[in-house]
Amino acid sequence: MDRELSDEDIAHVRGHLNACGGCLHIFQFEESLRRLVKVRCQEQSAPESLRAKITLSLATEQLRIQQTRSRQRPTA
């Protein structure tokens, strides 16, 4: 599913799925669900107000990190 297996492992899993109808059914269901989630997530985007809050939070956190780092730098 996630392309994390070696070619040998993929062949082994495919062999098992061909022989085991129960596992094949579960695999097909999970694959269908994964595709559906991917499609639905691409169709909808976050509301602009949420995007703005996230952007502000990220900028605030980056500034906090920079300030913390500058305070931690040794002075010569």
- pLDDT digit string, tens, across residues 32-44: 999 998 888 887 7
Angstrom distance (rounded) from CA 24 to CA 28: 6
Angstrom distance (rounded) from CA 53 to CA 57: 6
Residue 46 pLDDT grade (very low, low, confident, very high; cuts 50, 70, 90): confident
Could you say which DSSP state residue 74 is in? P
Which two tokens mark 44? 């909808």
pLDDT of 4 above 80: yes
What is the mean predicted confidence (pLDDT) over 53-72? 91
Asked if 51 and 59 touch (Cβ cutoff 8 Å), the reply is no
